[in-house]
Chains A and B, each alone.
Chain A
Amino acid sequence: MSDVMVDVHGVHKSFGPLEVLRGVDLKVRAGEVTVILGPSGSGKSTLLRTINHLEKVNSGWISIDGELIGYRRSGSKLHELKEKDVLKQRTHIGFVFQNFNLFPHLTVLDNLVEAPVSALRRPRKAAEETARRLLDRVGLADKADAYPRQLSGGQQQRVAIARALALEPKVLLFDEPTSALDPELVGEVLDVIKDLAGTGTTMIVVTHEIGFAREVADTVVFMDGGVVVEQGPPAAVLDDPRHERTRAFLSKVL
């Protein structure tokens, strides 16, 4: 398969004595939406954070569009990249946090313009134009000059999605994007993500929204205890799971 966008290979990750990832393999093809489900502590968020190198792996490797993340290979050795180079790689990977993590002291527009200008060295004017277009796309064109705290949670998360898109990433990672939201605000954020899925953006979404997974995912991955238990099309994994653990989890959340 030549169109593999994200390739996770044999990834192990420990926090002290606690082994959170115990050999994870995952392939995500370009243009596809992968939804990762699993109970708390199953390692879903950690896996997502290793993909953009917010967490270093203990063994195994991850590549995006054929490029190793966080390392440079020469022969049989992996050389750790300098922070500067890791930062450059991250501009290809959009990340949306559970708690939005918008910059509260900057206006919405400046939140979207900051990284393109400072990391990609785009001219400010062009970056502002892109930013306004993206805000329009998430339905917040009129909030460009507001500060994040003046927005609702759902609006803040939509701004955060627009901010991630401003770098025109190859892949978008969502870490439980609706878990910090009031129930009535979940829909507006999921609608934006669905909309993106329709445009062929490669995405990996960690979530607890089973309905969203069924509707949008090309592949559903079920994780437990730091490994991928099973994966496949939503119809297979959600309606006819082969593993006992998947069945037990789904019976609790459905």
Chain B
Amino acid sequence: MSTLPSTTDTAPPGAATPGTGPGAPPAPDDPASLKVVPARHYARWVAAVAVIVLVAQFAHGLATNPVWEWGVFGDYVLSETIVQAVWVTLQLTAYATVLGFLLGTVLAFMRLSRSPVLQTVAWTYIWIFRSIPMIVQLVFWFNLSALYEELGFGIPFGPVFWSVDSNSVIGTMGAAIIGLTLHQAAYAAEIVRGGVIAVDHGQLEAAAAQGIPRLRQIRRIVLPQAMRAILPTAGNEIIGLLKGTSVVYVMSIGELFYQVQVIYGRNGRVIPLLLVATAWYVVLTSLLSVAQYYVERRYARGANRTPPPTPIQRARRFLRTLRAAAAQRNQPVIPLKPLGDSR
């Protein structure tokens, strides 16, 4: 400190003339005259230019490389076969999501229960079904009739009253749904359990202290709050499942990926048909992401003092400010004063 020559400190008052010479201290008596010069990020600019060039190159390739065969893509993307296949994909996703999360919620509460038997069974289930690759499991279910020729209803280990051929009840679609569901349930169980243990213990105590029935405590107090922690991961899982349904092609079910393979097997246009599948998966995932946003928002009620605006509200607000700005700019065009002058 003492080595620095500080002219301003030692100079007698009134002696320093502000703004003289380079690096002179600014006039301390007029802060409004100080100008802020933003820092310049040259490296950032270079990086941005490089990335833009790369992206442009890629987009140019997409548009001009004849291998993509956009014409073929156009022919197939909305064809009846493909739309039907998309519908099968959606069905598989919906069934496996709903049933998987139902079973998963039951498993989660089994793991959280005070009964060591329920805990162990749930833990074992999750352990096994997380260990088996989905595709292996699906093929197992596909060959169910080799494992159990008949499904029966009766006393455990005792006589059977009623039975059917297992292939006739389950069928390929059923086997696929069961396989996806059982796989999904193992993951859903852990997601739900994670959400439940994230809820403050005081919430359960408060519910118990008021005598709220046990099931109602879970449904009305715990689960809605757990949803905040469950939803982001569950969204990931459902999107993963949507794309995961493509492995069902091994069972020759006419979902999107299987149908696309059938078509390019016939006509040899591999690339444009893969593009068809890609486009649909992107569209469906986008729709799920939008749905997720709004569901999350709903369960965030009460979490924030003032909830943030939705993208639509934000867009509306933006348009309103634009309009207001435009109106302001137009004002001088319709001057009010000259009105009196013209008379």
Contact = CB atoms under 8 A, between A and B. Distances in A.
A-B interaction? yes
Interface of A: 52, 54, 83-84, 87-91, 93, 95, 97, 99, 101-107, 114-115, 118-120, 147-150, 163-164, 167
A105 B221 CA distance: 8
Contacts of A164: 210
B302 A90 contact: no
Interface string B208-225: 111111101000110011
A97 B208 CA distance: 12
Contacts of A163: 210
B206 interface: yes
Given A97-B205, A101-B202, A103-B221, A149 B213 contact: no
Nearest to B306: A150
A103 B212 contact: no
B203 A118 contact: no
A44 B27 CA distance: 65
Given A104-B225, A105-B225, A149-B305, A54 B205 contact: yes
5 contacts: A102-B206, A115-B210, A118-B213, A119-B211, A167-B211
B72 to A, nearest CB: 51
B295 to A, nearest CB: 14
Given A104-B302, A105-B225, A149-B302, A99 B202 contact: yes
Contacts, number: 79
Contact of B212 (A54, A87, A97): A87
Q: Pick the most buried of B206, B216, B220, B221: most chain A CB atoms within 10 A of its CB.
A: B206
A253 B202 CA distance: 29
Interface in B189-239: 200, 202-203, 205-214, 216, 220-221, 224-225
B212 A119 contact: yes
Nearest to B300: A105
B205 A167 contact: no
- Top 5 nearest A-B pairs (CB, nearest first) are A147-B302, A101-B206, A115-B210, A91-B211, A119-B211
A167 to B, nearest CB: 6
B206 A90 contact: no
B15 interface: no
A150 B305 contact: yes
A164 to B, nearest CB: 8
A148 B216 CA distance: 20
B304 A149 contact: yes
Contacts of A150: 305
Given A97-B202, A97-B205, A105-B225, A83 B210 contact: no
Contacts of A102: 206
Interface of B: 200, 202-203, 205-214, 216, 220-221, 224-225, 299, 301-305
Contacts of B216: 118
Given A148-B302, A149-B302, A149-B304, A119 B210 contact: yes
Nearest to A164: B210
B258 to A, nearest CB: 43
B150 to A, nearest CB: 41
Nearest to A151: B305
B209 A84 contact: no
A120 to B, nearest CB: 8
A163 to B, nearest CB: 7
Nearest to B302: A147
A88 B203 contact: no
Contact of B203 (A52, A103, A147): A103
A97 B211 contact: no
Contacts of B200: 101
Contact of B209 (A88, A95, A148): A95
A114 B212 contact: yes
A89 B210 CA distance: 9
A183 B299 CA distance: 33
Contacts of B210: 90-91, 95, 114-115, 119, 163-164, 167
Contact of A115 (B203, B205, B211, B305): B211
Contacts of B202: 97, 99, 101
B213 A84 contact: yes
B303 to A, nearest CB: 7
Contact of A90 (B209, B225, B299): B209
A101 B213 contact: no
